Amino acid sequence: DAGVIQSPRHEVTEMGQEVTLRCKPISGHDYLFWYRQTMMRGLELLIYFNNNVPIDDSGMPEDRFSAKMPNASFSTLKIQPSEPRDSAVYFCASGKAGVADTQYFGPGTRLTVL
């Protein structure tokens, strides 16, 4: 079975540009999570969805960040406008309710904002 799929794998953009990261969770999983990882702050949860509904977005750093999940097989994380401090690896993970809270991570998107 395919794991969590993320695209693009690498993104280099200039400050002020809009960035859209994409995620396809594992089929049948009802939870989807967006994380950001940096050397300074480690792995931080940004937002998570249950059955396509945002449950907790308290980790979203500011209004420049938004996330959507229009259906069970697709989610986006958008940054507009992007800033150099947004440079990080962004992971998407999915999980299935009742299975010991195990989360399966995608390969990540390495974002560099110049």
Partner 1 sequence: RKEVEQDPGPFNVPEGATVAFNCTYSNSASQSFFWYRQDCRKEPKLLMSVYSSGNEDGRFTAQLNRASQYISLLIRDSKLSDSATYLCVVNFLYGNKLVFGAGTILRVKS
Instruction: Return residues touching partner 1 (CB under 8 A).
Output: 31, 33, 42-43, 45, 48, 50, 55-56, 91, 95, 97, 100-108
State residue 23 phi and psi, 5-degree precision.
-145, 135
Q: Pick between residue 74 and residue 104 the one whose CB is nearest to partner 1.
A: 104
d(CA 18, CA 41) in angstroms, rounded, equals 23
Number of alpha carbons in the 13 Å side-chain half-sphere of residue 37: 13
Task: State which residue, 45 or 72, has the beta carbon closest to partner 1.
Answer: 45
Which residue, 62 or 101, is less far from partner 1 as judged by CB?
Answer: 101
| Least distance from partner 1 to the Cβ atom of residue 80, Å | 25
* Nearest approach, Cβ of residue 50 and partner 1 (Å): 7
**Chain-centre distance for alpha carbon 98:** 22
Between residues 20 and 38, which has the closer beta carbon with respect to partner 1? Answer: 38
Angstrom distance (rounded) from CA 96 to CA 37: 23
Q: Least distance from C-beta 89 to partner 1, angstroms?
A: 8
CB of 43 to partner 1, least distance (A): 4
The residue among 55, 37, 57, 38 whose CA lies nearest residue 46 is: 57
